Homo-oligomer: A and B are copies of this chain.
Amino acid sequence: MENKTSIQEAIETQEVLVCSLKTKNASKEKIEEELAKLLELKAQLGGDDDKHSFVLKTPKGTRDYSPKQMVIREKVFNIIVSCFKRHGAETIDTPIFELKETLTGKYGEDSKLIYDLKDQGGELLSLRYDLTVPFARYLAMNKVSNIRRYHIAKVYRRDNPAMTRGRYREFYQCDFDIAGQYDPMIPDAECVKIVYEILSQLDLGDFRIKVNDRRILDGMFSVCGVPDEKFRSACSAVDKLDKVSWAEVRREMVTEKGLAPEMVDQIGEYVKLQGGQNLAERLLKDPKLSHSEQACAGLTDMKLLFTYLQLFRATDKVVFDLSLARGLDYYTGVIYEAVLIPSGPGSGGDETVGVGSVAGGGRYDGLVGMFDPKGKMVPCVGVSIGVERIFSIMEQRTEACAEKVRTTETQVLVASAQKNLLEERLKLVAHLWDAGVKAEVVHKANPKLLSQLQYCEDAGIPLVVIIGERELQDGAVTLRSVSSREEVEVSRAELVEEIKRRTVKALLLADA
């Protein structure tokens, strides 16, 4: 302790010296020299007392949700869950970690981003990377061959975070999947319809849902001369087209993946193409592509997808886009991805620029078979909503409009204007709780009335019950509206009903 005190004194002396050198405009070198000594002294002190020297933060790429952010999160989840339930989904949950081997061989080049747990004896575990692989494991383990389920939970990726744009290492996914043997493209079309409904209801501005098919991509690679074993890596190169230019992707395919430039240029012609049902029809007659059985199967299904989406009144936002590839290994058929369209100049919003994809998914008919001991296949198609990016947009909006967000639902505060009424306040608030009223009381023996009213203003509590000696004698209370400041006397017997009557309208409005 004496040692620490003497260092503390040395620091103070040194601080005075540095300060005086600065005011005296001493040479830069001299100041830096003395400053270095000061920093060293401070470091010595820190070393003795590391209890308070640690970093107070959340891990890289993660964040806390404050009460205000939770209000936004709940609102977004409610919209998404209502949609999933409207489409007949049930829900499941799985552990946050899986056996390491469960995740092995499912994610291609992205596997390096998986978080492993430390080997503390026992099984080797990894944090889940998405909700799709645990879902497939669940189906195989429980021999479920038929389900329509949603799952909202956190997943983990050791990626480079870009938190202002909603890219985190811990983030929520909201997944809806249909497993089972059905007629072609009906479940697939329902998944696209769900993305359409959710993005419309979230009211994030205009959006597009790009669709493609892994079989069309593979057929395209094949007719352009790409060898089979390079399909997956060609695919992940094309997948980057939403972030980088064709020139960049071309370079990667030629120099890194070792594809011949003329092959790559042919691919370049195809991946430029965008359209609707007509494009699928045209490509079915394409001199090269029509030679690929795979491509034709994909294109025929694409036509069918558009037919169903027309019946679902969802084609206005859907684009058949041959550059859409999606990185993950497990897709086998249709794939899709939704992006927000930044609104034009003057309409006040380039806030969504760079947010990128907000939903994605596709068909993965082989994944469950990878888990089943007998390799039994369960065809699956699903969609995942990228809510973190949506939260980011909504949070920016809420801040921009400076709207006051309530983070509690308290209907009434039990207050008093006089001293020594703590016991009466506690008795009354318990009576309200027992009657199902959301009520608070200030946890002080004798709080000032003004501070109790101020608390209501700050927290957005709409009503105050005020008790005093006179009210107690009369078996009544004063009920005050915080916003209008109007007061009425209400009998104890009628209090609960009166509070409910006065707050039900506000609650209904809040729910809407």
A residues engaging B (CB < 8 A)? Answer: 51-52, 54-60, 62-67, 70, 73, 85-99, 101-102, 115-120, 122-123, 125, 127, 137-138, 140-142, 147-149, 154, 156, 158, 170, 178, 180, 182-183, 186-187, 189-190, 193, 197, 308, 311-313, 370-375, 407-410, 422-423, 426-427, 430, 433-434, 436-440, 443-445, 459
Contact (Cβ within 8 A) B115 A92: no
Q: Which of A375, A408, A459 has the most CB of B within 10 A?
A: A408
Query: What are 17 A-B pairs at a CB distance below 8 A?
Result: A56-B140, A56-B141, A56-B371, A63-B95, A64-B138, A64-B141, A65-B92, A86-B433, A88-B410, A97-B170, A115-B117, A182-B443, A183-B422, A189-B426, A193-B433, A308-B426, A312-B430
Question: For the complex, what is the distance from the CA of A89 to the CA of B147, rounded to whole Å?
Answer: 37
Q: Which of A57, A63, A118, A156 counts the most chain B CB atoms within 10 A? A: A118
Contacts of A180 in B (CB 8 A): 443
Q: A55-B101, A70-B92, A117-B118 are in contact. List 8 more A-B contacts (CB 8 A).
A: A60-B122, A64-B93, A67-B90, A85-B408, A115-B117, A148-B408, A193-B430, A311-B423
Are B409 and A85 interface neighbours, CB within 8 A? yes
Known A-B contacts A66-B92, A66-B142, A430-B311; the reply to A59 vs B119 at CB < 8 A is no
Contacts of A66 in B (CB 8 A): 92, 142
For A430, list chain B residues within 8 Å (CB).
193, 311-313
Contact, CB under 8 Å: A70 / B91: yes
Are B95 and A64 within 8 A (Cβ)?
yes
The answer to whether A99 and B308 have CB atoms under 8 Å apart is no
Q: Quote the shortest CB–CB distance from A299 to chain B (angstroms).
A: 20
Q: Which of A149, A436, A443 has its CB near the most chain B CB atoms (within 10 A)?
A: A443
How far, in whole Å, are A178 and B440 apart by their CA atoms in the complex? 12
Cα distance, A390 to B138, chains bound together (Å):
24
Closest 5 CB pairs of A and B: A182-B443, A67-B90, A62-B95, A90-B407, A88-B440
| Contact between B183 and A445, CB atoms less than 8 A apart | yes
Known contacts A86-B436, A312-B426, A408-B90; is A119 also within 8 Å of B118 by CB?
A: yes
Q: How far does the alpha carbon of A372 sit from the alpha carbon of B56 in the complex, in Å?
A: 8
- Which of B57, B65, B90, B407 is the one whose CB lies under 8 Å from A93? B65
Question: In whole Å, how far is A159's beta carbon from the nearest beta carbon of chain B?
Answer: 12
Complex: how many Å from CA A335 to CA B256?
A: 63
A81 to chain B, nearest CB (A): 10
- Docked-complex contact A99 and B311, CB < 8 angstroms: no
**Given A85-B438, A311-B430, A443-B178, is A92 in contact with B64 using a C-beta cutoff of 8 Å?**
yes
Report the minimum CB–CB distance from A304 to chain B (whole Å).
11
CB-CB nearest in chain B for A54: B101
Residues on the B chain within 8 Å of A437, using CB: 86
Residue of B nearest to A168 (CB): B95
CA gap between A99 and B58 in the complex, in Å = 7
